[in-house]
Amino acid sequence: MNDRILIDSVVSTLRDVLGTERSAIALHEPLFQGNEWAYVKECLDSGWVSSVGKYVDRFEAKLAEYTGSPHAIAVVNGTAALHLSLLLAGVETGDEVLAPAMSFVATGNAVAYCGAIPHWVDSSPLTLGLDPEKLADYLEDIAEVSPTGCRNRRTGRRIKAVIAMHTFGHPIDLEPLLALCERFRLELIEDAAESLGSFYKGRHTGTWGRLAALSFNGNKVMTTGGGGAVLTHDPVLAKQAKHLSTTAKAPHRWAFNHDQVAFNYRMPNLNAALGCAQLEQLEGFIAWKRRLAGAYAQAFEGLEGVAFFEEPSFARSNYWLNAILLDPSLSGSRDPLLDATNEQGIMTRPVWTLMHRLPMYKDCPRMDLSVAENLESRLINLPSSAVLGRQDVEA
């Protein structure tokens, strides 16, 4: 199949799913159709717009209820949530943290903020996330467990934690990863920034590790404008997360006493108000996104050389970003296809540049990344906004 035939076929398939009346279709945009205006206006009318207010507490409580996590601490963005999670897990300067090479840059940045070193690991073609089996074989070769924890025999550094990122909302296979973490004495931290509303074997992502990070950026399944949250089952860690996110200020009516170096990471009440309204609609958003994914899957089923990526059998995915994979023999067509679809007003994009290709992370330790490199060469994300799956919105 040549580029022209492939491009025409994909564009035609996308138009069949998305319709022809929209001149420009975003990759992912928010949808406001509930109590957003009322809740935000209440903040403005009352003057409670900053990091204190009833909507922050309400949002945390509702988020904990939805995910099944006993504790949710709202913060300014997903990167801040991941940074706090790593610190609370005990990651220190000079430690190594195992993290997927195929991830958004924030995953690596949060490790670097701790003074730690990202150690890049490969992906699974079944989930697009970290591959527990391949990682187990790799750790057998390079790691040793001692009374002080897990050490990298090649670098001499402690390997403290592993970050499980649920790529595009698809849960990774968590049970074998948990067993691996126990075996090698590693802390499991879930980067669930993309997977709010996704479940692994009936249990929400972000509730399997000791700590997890969520994101509510404007392009996520639901949004607070900018925002994130730390999830944890541990009440002590939850208390520490809230303390660290509020500049470690001791409670007092008027005195400003702080007991450690900390961060101004708390989510403002305005953002939390928006989040409360969005959270009320979350299951509807996910139903529409899953309907859109189903339409894509059906439309691409008979298209030669192109496969729509579907959720693993053990999971319910929120399908945050839909994706197609070109046949390996067609990987050279990726960029021409990206050019053509965007010129047609259909926003598509490649997966993120792999972490080990970025200048600041090119010298970090890494395992064989052949699967991630293969996926990078032929993966394309498709428009995925919830509104595109609404039954009452027809082109």
Same-domain check for residues 137 and 245: yes
Same domain, 104 and 231: yes
Rounded-to-integer distance, Cα 73 and Cα 197, Å: 17
pLDDT, one tens digit per residue, over 343-369 is 999 999 999 999 999 999 999 999 999
Question: What backbone phi and psi angles, to 5 degrees, belong to 163?
Answer: -100, 125
* pLDDT beyond 60 at 393: no
Taking 90 as the threshold, does the pLDDT of residue 228 lie above it? yes
Tell how strand 211-215 and strand 187-191 pair up.
Answer: parallel
Any domain includes 207? yes
- Mean pLDDT of the region 327-340: 95
Pairing of strands 158-165, 149-152: antiparallel
* Average model confidence (pLDDT) across the chain: 95
Say yes or no: 131 and 18 in one domain. Answer: no
Dihedral (CA of 303, 123, 228, 318) sign? positive
Task: DSSP letter for 171, please.
Answer: P
Same structural domain for residues 289 and 275? Answer: no
**Which of 263, 280, 297 is the last residue in one of the domains?**
280
Written as one string, the DSSP assignment of 336-354 is HHHHHHHHTTB--EEPPPP
Q: Which residue has the higher pLDDT, 121 or 148?
A: 121
Q: Quick one: 182 and 161 in the same domain?
A: yes
pLDDT at position 51: 75
Q: Are residues 91 and 128 in the same domain?
A: yes
Contacts of 25 (CB under 8 A, 6+ apart): 18, 345, 346, 347, 383, 388
- Residues 155-165: pLDDT tens digits? 999 999 999 99
Q: Alpha carbon of 309 to those of 126, 138, 295, 338, 387: distances in Å?
A: 9, 27, 12, 17, 20
pLDDT in tens, 84-109: 999 999 999 999 999 999 999 999 99
Same domain, 243 and 260: yes
pLDDT of the residue at 169: 98
260 is a domain residue: yes
Judge whether 394 lies within some domain.
Answer: no
Give the model's pLDDT for residue 21: 72
Q: What is the pLDDT of residue 395?
A: 44
For residue range 262-302, what is the model confidence (pLDDT) as tens digits?
999 999 999 999 999 999 999 999 999 999 999 999 999 98
Are 177 and 194 contained in the same domain? yes
Query: 123 vs 6, which has greater pLDDT?
Result: 123
pLDDT at 19: 86
- Mean predicted confidence (pLDDT) in 256-262: 93
Cα–Cα distance measured from residue 249 to residue 238, given in angstroms and rounded to the nearest whole number: 15
Q: How far apart, in whole angstroms, are the C-alpha atoms of residue 161 and residue 152?
A: 12
Determine what percent of the chain is predicted with pLDDT higher than 70: 98
Confidence of residue 1 (pLDDT cuts 50, 70, 90): low
Q: How confident is the model at residue 392 (pLDDT cuts 50, 70, 90)?
A: low
Which is more confident, 169 or 250? 169
Residue 230 φ/ψ, nearest 5 degrees? -100, 130
Q: Are residues 239 and 327 in the same domain?
A: no
395 lies in a domain? no
Domain count, the chain: 2
Burial grade of 391 (CB within 10 A; 0-12, 13-18, 19 or more)? exposed
Per the structure, the complete domain to which residue 363 belongs is given by: 3-31+282-389
Domain harbouring 232, CATH code: 3.40.640.10
With a cut of 70, say whether residue 322 has pLDDT above it: yes
Residue 77 predicted with pLDDT over 80: yes
Residues 15-33 pLDDT 10s: 999 987 777 999 999 999 9
